[in-house]
Every structure is written in structure tokens, then in C-alpha cells.
Amino acid sequence: MNHRGVEFTVARTAIPGIWHWRFRIGEQIKTGRTETKIDLLAIRRVQPRIDRELKAIERKTA
């Protein structure tokens, strides 16, 4: 999947209702987990995290 030019993945874990996510910006890789029964909600929860990382990078370069 792609959000604002950042590729990310969301995958179901062996535990029901737990999703593992991962994205990469440059050389930095961020991973985590979210808890929800709905796959689309898991995807929506990763997108603000990507936005925060992009905003932090923008602030550093400004």
C-alpha cells in the first residue's frame, strides 16, 4: 500500500484482532502493532503515523 509516497504493509498476526504494520522512510524503518478486527481500520491507523514521521522530517529540514 502507499500513503503520501510511503510504501507500507499491514499484516494479520497469529493472534486474532492484532495487525502488524511496517513502513520505511529513507533508511528509517518503523514497525508496530494495532488491535482491531477490521483490516481497513488497521490501515487507517498506520496512515497518521506516516504523516507524523513526514512532518517530523519536514521540521528537521526547515
Domain residue spans of the chain: 2-61
Closest CA to 6 of 43, 61, 51: 51
Determine the pLDDT at residue 61.
Answer: 87
pTM: 0.89
Angstrom distance (rounded) from CA 19 to CA 1: 15
User: Any bridge partners for residue 24, and if so which?
Assistant: 29
Strands of 1-62, DSSP E: 2-3, 6-12, 18-25, 28-35
pLDDT tens for each residue of 8-28: 999 999 999 999 999 999 999
pLDDT tens for each residue of 33-51: 999 999 999 999 999 999 9
- Asked whether 42 and 36 are in contact (CB, 8 A), the reply is yes
